[in-house]
Amino acid sequence: MLETALTRRAAILGLVSAIALRARDGKADGIPWPAADQVEPGELAKRLETGAGQLIILYAGFAVLYRAGHIPGAILAGPVGKPEGLTLFKQKARDIPRAQKVFVYCGCCPVEHCPNIRPAYQVLKDMGFSKIRVVNMPENFHADWVAKGYKTAKGEGA
């Protein structure tokens, strides 16, 4: 019984340590950007609705998903997880001023497992962008944007 209690305490201490380490660097497990570089879908939707300046939004995912529905004004620039998509992403980002805030998202799957968002974030960092905001899609674009009633564009778009 004492051994079981000690094992539980050790497990709890391990969990608390992991949480503390994550809080220290501001990053969630498997996410290479700090929490400050992440924006919730509702926050971005509100900015779009209020017309808070011209927003640069790069869609880093698959063209077929973009055509089915995307954030209004988003620029198709992927899929970044594939070589041809990475080239397209760099071309689309090339002429954007480095000090401009750039929102980037995919939404093909949960952000923590997405094959496109990490390379997109890293490319923007490598290109010298200083105000990158990753749109947090914990499930996918449909669940985290469309189902919540945020405005959606369809077709080729930007």
Assigned domain for 154 exists = no
Q: Considering the domain boundaries, does residue 106 fall inside one?
A: yes
Residue 48 CB: number of other CB atoms within 10 A?
Answer: 17
Instruction: Based on the fold, state whether residues 87 and 134 are members of the same structural domain.
Output: yes
48 and 16 within one domain: no
Are 38 and 111 part of one and the same domain? yes
| pLDDT at position 80 over 70 | yes
Give start and end residues of each alpha helix (H) in 71-139. Answer: 83-94, 117-126
β-bridge mates for residue 74, sequence order: none
Report d(CA 116, CA 79) in Å as an integer: 6
pLDDT at 22: 38
Say whether 129 sits in a helix, a strand or coil. Answer: coil
Q: What is the pLDDT of residues 126-151, one digit of tens each?
A: 999 999 999 999 999 999 999 999 99
Amino acid 122 reads: Q
Give the pair of three-digit tokens for residue 52: 């808070």
Spell out where the chain has E strands: 38-39, 56-59, 75-76, 102-105, 132-135
Band of residue 88 on the pLDDT scale cut at 50, 70, 90: very high
Range of the domain at 133: 31-148
Residue 134 phi, psi dihedral angles, 5° rounding: -85, 125
Same domain, 37 and 64: yes
> For the residues 100-110, what does the mean pLDDT come to?
96
- Provide the pLDDT for residue 31: 81
Q: Are residues 41 and 15 in the same domain?
A: no
- Judge whether 158 lies within some domain: no
Asked, for residue 65, whether it belongs to a domain, the answer is yes
13 and 44 assigned to the same domain? no
Joined tokens for residue 139:
């499930």
Q: Give residue 64's pLDDT band: very low, low, confident or very high (50, 70, 90).
A: very high
Share of the chain above pLDDT 90, in %: 73
How many structural domains are present in the chain? 2
